[in-house]
């Protein structure tokens, strides 16, 4: 067989292997998407039956991203990002939901800093985003990056009397 024909056969064979791999891997991605939608059926956070572990608290900054999930929380001082389920109707407390839905597209220009209590829907895995819901956020500060100013501040002030003790 001439060299040109052998190379053509090799390319065709390689294309078949790639196609077979794609066909085999598609169900894996679809299974995770299905699981995520199942997690979204129950809008409770800490008492959700689909949780993968105990809830925990940390200081972080929530920000909307282009992609899925839309809302992600950066754990301050780390490289860790948590993805908040569910995109259309995120599982977050009322005080956070009210500021996320203020104004048309306003949240895209804002950082939502606070102490987040989150509950995991997936196990922690280095290098992977962990999916969570937000049970509670305290000390919420909303910073508008476009206006370059704080537009909401729910931090609990420390009185001078209690600070002296």
Model confidence pLDDT, tens digit, residues 101-126: 887 677 899 999 999 999 999 999 99
pLDDT for 22 equals 42
Give strand pairing partners of 120.
Answer: 132
pLDDT given at position 15:
62
Instruction: Kindly state the tokens that stand for 142.
Output: 């909303």
Residues of the chain with pLDDT under 50: 21-35
Nearest to 153 by CA among 119, 123, 113: 113
d(CA 67, CA 65): 6
Asked whether 75 and 60 are in contact (CB, 8 A), the reply is yes
């Amino acid at each position: 067989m001439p060299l040109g024909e052998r190379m053509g056969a090799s390319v065709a064979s390689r294309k078949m292997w790639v196609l077979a791999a794609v066909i085999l891997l598609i169900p894996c991605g679809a299974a995770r998407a299905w699981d995520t939608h199942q997690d979204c059926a129950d809008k409770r956070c800490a008492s959700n039956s689909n949780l993968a572990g105990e809830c925990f608290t940390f200081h972080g900054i929530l920000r909307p991203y282009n992609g899925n999930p839309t809302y992600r929380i950066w754990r301050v001082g780390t490289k860790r990002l948590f993805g908040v389920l569910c995109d259309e109707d995120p599982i977050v407390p009322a005080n956070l939901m009210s500021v996320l839905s203020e104004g048309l597209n306003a949240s895209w220009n804002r950082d939502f800093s606070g102490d987040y209590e989150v509950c995991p829907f997936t196990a922690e895995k280095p290098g992977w985003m962990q999916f969570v819901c937000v049970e509670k956020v305290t000390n919420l500060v909303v910073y508008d990056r476009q206006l370059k100013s704080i537009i909401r501040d729910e931090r609990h002030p420390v009185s001078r009397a209690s600070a002296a003790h």
